[in-house]
Amino acid sequence: MSILAWIVVGLIAGFLARLALPGPEPGPGGILGDLIAGIVGALVGGWIFRALGMGGVTGINIGSILVAFIGAVVFLLIWRAIAGHGRRGVRQV
């Protein structure tokens, strides 16, 4: 898949994942954050789907966007769990 296709799929998947996970800062912010979440999501989703014996991200199509979206949601949930854990553990006296 070309770099341009990864960027397009990443932006779409990252944006959709951010919409699916409302709340304060589900991950890195802005368009760049959406792009990062989408591209990482495409890698995570591709790995998950291949491990289950299904296809991964193959280009700019609905199936690839769905795989990348699911991966981006997983990535953002993990990001929230890690980033949120450090903030809750600090107690001021």
Between 2 and 13, the higher pLDDT residue: 13
- Which tens digit of pLDDT belongs to each residue from 16-44? 888 888 766 545 567 777 778 888 888 88
pLDDT score at 52: 86
Distance CA 8, CA 66 (A): 13
At position 77, the amino acid (one-letter code) is: L
User: For 66-75, what is the mean pLDDT?
Assistant: 87
What does the CA dihedral 52, 76, 87, 22 come to, rounded to 10 degrees? Answer: -130
State pLDDT tens for residues 78-90. Answer: 888 887 655 555 5
pLDDT digits (tens, 9 = 90+) for 50-64: 888 887 777 788 888
